[in-house]
Amino acid sequence: MSGGGAWGDDDPTGRRQFADVGTLTLEARGALPDVTVAYETWGTLNEARDNAVLVLHALTGDSHVSGPAGSGHPTAGWWDALVGPGRALDTDRWFVVAPNVLGGCQGTTGPASPAPDGRAWGSRFPFITVRDQVTAEARLADRLGIDAWASVIGGSMGGMRVLEWAVTYPNRLRSAVVLASSAYATAEQIAWCEPQLLAVRADPNWAGGDYHEADGPGPVAGLGIARRIAHVTYRSELELAERFGREAQGDEQPIGGSGRYAVESYLDHHADKLRRRFDAGSYVVLTEAMNSHDVGRGRGGTSAALQRISCDLHVAAVDSDRLYPPRLSVEIVDGAPTARQLRTVSSPYGHDGFLIETSQVGEVVRDCLNGLDIRVSVR
């Protein structure tokens, strides 16, 4: 392990650390050598090592679940309201671990990382699947000495990985929370991803994926377009209508072509934010990994795969989610023998409700964790 262990430093809480997890044999083909996983921790691992909770981020998230922006953290914690003393993920009780996903760009091996020859992987970075990402996370658990998680929690792409954990390693988690996710990538989800991938690859600065060591900004224009497309699917039609309507942006005049509508300015803002902190190569790799998601592949289909789940499973859908509509959560609940009754997060914000409605999501997490008999950590 490099960069310090989870409990080997004076105060590792909320600080990015790194674990070397070796070579990963990949599901599709080949292997990825010398894999590093970046992660952060909060709280204390108890003597029994049974109070560890794994939190898995979505597509453009990272390991920084809680805390202010800082070194290695381009943004503040994306679920800050849920992690800390007295919060849903109470760090006086739980040892919370959040890794950056395999293929990412915030410390874990991805396209921008150096390959064995010292150059960025770029276009040579292999195709990875959600199962490969979970394999890397299982290796991290091994390095941390965690045989089984008290719970594994995640939404969207993180929820995909939660289900893969529950199906692939049923004996390594006691409970799980799946938020706004699915057992497989649907045709519509894949369809929305295609123009995003094309936008990035059509950028002249994409350079076939080998732009990392070239002069210039890289394919930030294509990444910005991809983000605009994606962000519309993350929100609801009603929210956009009520929030922006047909209003012009400030004093701009969209009629006549000399300005923008307010909703266009909103999408521009989110595109600018992402392209300042995220690697386009990782966006492509992770999007294709999400498209690969199918817990039933090679397991006799979705129903057979969900039957493998033995942990206490909590599933929540966002009622206005048009990207991961509630019917997909219903399929999980109906197929998994240990699933509790479906929870519904009421929100006008669409898919992003799992990130925004922290009070409702926190109740789902509390209900899951309160059902576990774990000795309180001693600081």
3-state secondary structure of 129: coil
Strands 31-42 and 17-25: antiparallel
Q: Is 293 considered catalytic here?
A: no
C-alpha closest to that of 211 among 283, 129, 108, 291: 283
Q: Rounded CA gap, 113 and 134, in Å?
A: 19
Q: Are 287 and 317 in contact (CB under 8 A)?
A: no
Q: Rounded CA gap, 161 and 302, in Å?
A: 15
Q: Is 181 considered catalytic here?
A: no
For residue 350, the one-letter residue type is: G
Q: Enter the tokens of residue 104.
A: 């990412």
Q: Rounded CA gap, 106 and 193, in Å?
A: 22
Q: Rounded CA gap, 98 and 73, in Å?
A: 13
User: In the chain, where do the E strands start and end?
Assistant: 17-25, 31-42, 52-56, 95-99, 151-155, 175-179, 312-318, 343-345
Catalytic residue among 156, 292, 320, 347: 156
Q: Enter the tokens of residue 340.
A: 């509790």
Q: At what angle do helices 280-291 and 220-234 cross, to 10 degrees?
A: 40
C-alpha closest to that of 343 among 323, 364, 365, 328: 364
Can you spell out the DSSP letters for 294-321? Answer: BTTTTTTSHHHHHTT--SEEEEEEETT-
Task: Strand 175-179: give its sheet, edge to edge.
Answer: 17-25, 31-42, 95-99, 52-56, 151-155, 175-179, 312-318, 343-345
* 377 alpha carbon, distance to own chain's centre: 27
Catalytic residue among 321, 329, 347, 352: 321
3-state secondary structure of 175: strand
Catalytic residue among 62, 282, 351, 377: 351
Q: Is 321 considered catalytic here?
A: yes
Q: Which residues participate in catalysis according to the annotation?
A: 156, 321, 351
